[in-house]
Amino acid sequence: MRNNFTPEQWADPELAPAATQVRKCVHCGFCTATCPTYVVLGDERDSPRGRIQFMQKMLEEGGTPSDEAVHHIDRCLSCLNCRTTCPSSVDYARLVDTSRAYIHEHYQRPLGDRVLRWIIATVFPYPGRTKLALLLAPLGRIAAFFVPMGRLEAMLKKASPPRGPERLAKPEKTLKRIAMLPGCVQKAVMPQIDAAASRVLARRGIELVPLEGAGCCGALSHHLGREDESREFAKTLISAWEAGCYDGIFISATGCGGYLKELQHTFPGDPVWQARAEKFAAAMIDFVELVPPASVTPPQVLRVAYHPPCSLQNSLKLNGKSEALLAAAGFLLTPFGESHICCGSAGSYAILQPELSQTLRDRKLGHINAGNPDVIVSGNIGCIQQLSGGVPVLHIAQLLDWAEGGPLPDVMKGAAALVLSQHRA
């Protein structure tokens, strides 16, 4: 694609990767069919091709981004579905990440937006602060003076009671020691996921060892364009991992795992940290890679709708592995339409873009519920929270753990899961 980046811009290590992707784009439009926002809105400006035009103009010209450009770039989910259909292999992530950082540095958002983004960046990466925020969530309407009420309500609807820590299981004989990243929001609201994962892995001789000194992976800050913060989180993680000796690195949220698998891109122009980040990323391993399929007889043969997170499909590229695990464990999979389309969670997107997020959620659940599943399973905390509220939604580790003799997950115990006691033959 024709561009007007200057020699100085091509020499900029933070801008050059984006400029390279602009040049590769041929505007064929194949990406539009897989872009969730284009699928639901039908607006070329809300397609990857349209956003690339906005991003090119903004980055080439410099200065203050236009309101229109920011509006449509903000609507991008970063699901990266567009990468799966691009014949020119445009790495859209490099473009949108650079653009978000540029907007953060050069654009003055309305006060409500600034307050909301500040809350996300200063609360959610810290489990202690997140627990406190959840306890105080019923008082959140007071903040409506500063934050647009629709967005504040979207945040409060996501609030779940904080959970206490849960003990990780240890194998009788340890064959591998995997460093487990603590995460942030999941650690506060669903620590039972890591507990279930530890039991499944312990049965296979794998011990999860919490990585001391590590905190948030930095993905939330990164997707807000707050690159200085995301780099500091990344440096802390890398240093903590380098201080120990492990057979791999694990986090049970695929959204974090997908970001960390490409962590070297967080340090453009820094050969030392880029190399260290690349080694860290190479050691990352997802739950479905650690668990070989095992034939078992679950307490009940349930109909399972598996929702593959975008991060699992498009960043980790582990399509099909989760389904193989569930089928081997004796569950009946219920396929559904548009399984590749994002559910609308996308980290902080559900808070920042509540209307679009809700539209995508409703669309996704419409397809899923057509198969009449007993449970919905995913591999990412954001997707689990996004799809909750009807049919029980579980992390794949929780369902496999139950199938292998572990405890019945809490979400399968109440009135919302009565179908389990009236299971269809």
378: domain CATH number?
3.40.50
Q: Which residue has the higher pLDDT, 4 or 65?
A: 65
Instruction: Specify whether 299 is located in the same domain as 388.
Output: yes
Q: Give the strands of the sheet with 176-180, arranged side by side.
A: 206-210, 176-180, 249-250
Alpha helices in 42-110 (DSSP H): 48-61, 67-74, 92-106
Which of the two residues, 364 and 416, has the higher pLDDT score? 364
Q: Which of 15, 202, 10 minimizes the C-alpha distance to 106?
A: 15
Are 60 and 116 members of one domain?
no
Sequence-distant (6+) residues with CB within 8 A of 70 are 103, 107, 109
Residues 6+ apart with CB under 8 A from 425: none
Which of 398, 306, 395, 384 is closest to 345 using CA atoms? 384
Question: Is residue 273 domain-resident?
Answer: yes
Is residue 407 in some structural domain? yes
Q: List, for residues 22-39, the tens digit of each pLDDT value.
A: 999 999 999 999 999 999
Quick one: pLDDT at residue 215? Answer: 86
User: Is pLDDT above 90 for 422?
Assistant: no
Q: CATH number for the domain including 72? A: 1.10.1060.10
Which of 48-57, 235-244, 410-419 comes out lowest in average pLDDT?
A: 410-419
pLDDT digits (tens, 9 = 90+) for 40-77: 999 999 999 999 999 999 999 999 999 999 999 999 99
For residue 104 the two structure tokens come to 């953060």
Q: Return the top range by mean pLDDT from 70-74, 130-134, 138-142.
A: 70-74
Asked if the model's pLDDT at residue 145 lies above 70, the reply is no
Write the pLDDT tens digit of every residue in 261-271. Answer: 999 999 999 99
Mean pLDDT of all residues in 192-196: 94
- Mean pLDDT, the chain, rounded, equals 89
Residue 402 lies in a domain: yes
Three-state SS for 375? strand
Mention every residue, 6+ apart, whose C-beta is less than 8 A from residue 29.
47, 49
User: Looking at residues 314-337, what average pLDDT do you find?
Assistant: 95
pLDDT of residue 184: 83
76-115 pLDDT, tens digit per residue, is 999 999 999 999 999 999 999 999 999 999 999 999 899 8
Tell me what pLDDT residue 424 has: 43
The verdict on 94 and 116 lying in the same domain is no
- Contact between residue 318 and residue 301 where contact means Cβ atoms under 8 Å apart: no
Quote the domain boundaries for residue 189.
Answer: 176-285
pLDDT (0 to 100) of residue 135: 72
Tokens of 357: 């997020």
Domain count, the chain: 4
Name the 3-class secondary structure at 353.
Answer: coil
Instruction: Identify whether residues 188 and 150 lie together within a single domain.
Output: no
Q: Answer whether residue 155 shows pLDDT above 60.
A: no
